[in-house]
């Protein structure tokens, strides 16, 4: 939506004289407002096609939802809205996410014979991913202090640590490790060893990440020990 508004505003500035801009902006504002729900539904449709594969939000489901909100869009308008979203994003929508890394690692763990209850573990991972985003700065600040063994990191250390904050694989193994520790603590060391073997991330790094997450949930320090 941000990109679309930027494009509309840019187009308006280029094509409209200054004294007409106020009237034009009012019209554009109404246009954005009127299509907001339609664009959001199109975003959900596209996300489902990328992520859900066999259980996508098809056009009939989307139309029924819009009709329940008293919107009378046609299938053609819905298709055009999807295309507008794709064009706005230059068709670059298949972006890797931490959840994709988590789900891939869970599949590999299952394939390697690490038999854990899949559904509860997956749900716990999603909840912890949400939590890790809500407390992102606090978790990574704790992790930085552990890494440098100092409570007051320098600006240079903070800058170098940015690559760690952007490492989706580290986040994924940390989330899985923490989830297992919460649900099946007896299997925790075995899972950490498996994750180390699969990703090459050291058991210590995985444990430290789990410690940082758990510290902000319960204050537990067991994983680091």
pLDDT in tens, the chain (225 residues): 788 778 777 776 666 565 566 677 777 777 788 788 999 999 999 888 877 666 788 899 999 999 999 999 999 999 999 998 988 888 888 777 888 899 989 988 888 877 788 889 999 999 999 999 999 999 999 999 888 887 787 888 888 888 888 899 999 999 999 999 999 999 999 999 999 999 999 999 999 999 999 999 876 544 444
Half-sphere CA count of 168, side-chain side, radius 13 A: 11
Answer whether 0.75 is exceeded by the pTM. no
> Nearest 5°: phi and psi at 158?
-65, -40
Contact 81, 148 (CB under 8 A): no
Q: What is d(CA 40, CA 176) in angstroms, rounded to the nearest whole number?
A: 31
Cβ(128)–Cβ(218) under 8 Å? no
Give pLDDT, residue 19.
57
Which of 41-68 are b and which e, b meaning 16 or more Cβ less than 10 Å from the residue's Cβ? bbbebbebeeeeeeeebeeeebbeebee
Q: What is the pLDDT of residue 219?
A: 63
How many CA atoms, within 13 angstroms, populate the side-chain half-sphere of residue 136? 10
Angle between helices 21-51 and 75-88 (to 10 degrees): 90
Give the pLDDT score at 111: 84
DSSP letter assigned to residue 217: T
Tokens representing 94 are: 């298949």
Predicted pLDDT of residue 170: 93
């Amino acid at each position: 939506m941000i990109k679309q508004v930027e494009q509309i505003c840019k187009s308006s500035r280029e094509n409209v004289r200054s004294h007409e801009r106020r009237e034009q902006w009012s019209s554009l504002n109404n246009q954005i407002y009127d299509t907001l729900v339609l664009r959001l539904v199109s975003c959900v449709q596209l996300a489902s096609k990328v992520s859900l594969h066999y259980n996508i939000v098809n056009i009939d489901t989307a139309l029924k939802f819009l009709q329940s909100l008293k919107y009378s869009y046609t299938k053609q308008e819905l298709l055009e809205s999807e295309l507008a979203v794709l064009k706005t994003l230059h068709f670059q929508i298949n972006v890797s996410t931490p959840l994709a890394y988590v789900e891939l690692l869970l599949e590999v763990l299952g394939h390697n014979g690490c038999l854990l209850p899949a559904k509860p573990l997956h749900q716990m991972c999603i909840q912890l991913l949400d939590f890790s985003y809500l407390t992102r700065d606090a978790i990574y600040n704790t992790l930085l202090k552990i890494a440098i063994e100092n409570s007051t990191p320098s600006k240079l250390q903070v800058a170098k640590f940015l690559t760690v904050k952007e490492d989706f694989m580290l986040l994924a193994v940390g989330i899985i490790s923490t989830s297992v520790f919460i649900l099946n603590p007896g299997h925790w060391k075995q899972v950490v060893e498996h994750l180390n073997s699969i990703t090459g991330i050291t058991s210590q790094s995985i444990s430290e990440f789990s410690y940082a997450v758990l510290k902000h949930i319960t204050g537990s320090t067991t994983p680091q020990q």
